[in-house]
Structure 1
Amino acid sequence: MRSYALMPNFGRISTSTGEDSSKHKVELEDQAIRVDSDNGYVFTRPRHTRKARKSFETGFTDLSETNRKELVKFYEARMGGVEPFFYKNPVSGDLHLVRFADKLLFSYKGIGGVHLWDVLIKLTEV
């Protein structure tokens, strides 16, 4: 069995995870294919028989320059959305096998010599 890397969470001493809970979102995939007919009926069928995949949106606030570089290194090692990895859900504690669904979005918010970053991350289950 293949082993997968675990996404860094940059845990802080005061909390179990460094993720910003205000950025955490979970969305379930819609498995239905819908076709509208001319007489107003809607026909549906399942897209597939597997369980609905989840998409996650999460992020970090006030990430240090060192942690930003570590996250970029992790992203580049996975070749963006190519290689799957484990993501630990900060709410449930469950591990999900995911890929990056989009590029990382960094926002600089440092002041003077303090280099801090906010980052937004989008993931999708494999």
Structure 2
Amino acid sequence: MVDPSRGVLFPSRLTAFHRYAPPPVAADLVQWFWIPEWDLEPGVVSRQTVLGYPALNLVVEPHGVSLVGATTRMSERVLRGCGWAVGALLRPAAVGALTSDASSLVDVEQPLSAPTLH
């Protein structure tokens, strides 16, 4: 398992957050996989301040799949109710298969049509 506290400013606010090293077959494409899960009482919110990495993430959530570009600043996600995500912090070798212009994704989250992955 990869250190789950790296880049998480307030780990005590997360109900569950895991990072996993990729299997050998994916190690050239993925730095690590990350999985947050939460189940909050009605009316409770958890504000997650996120430090970005200068890399792209492929993210699968209940509502779809997205490609999240490298970030130049902190961001915030507000968690409510029950949810989860599975993300892959991508290595540069994987980027070309998903976009021809990674620089256009800086500070952008773009939906990705990937029904099989979803």
TM-score normalized with structure 1 length: 0.27
Bigger CA radius of gyration = 1
TM-score normalized with structure 2 length: 0.28
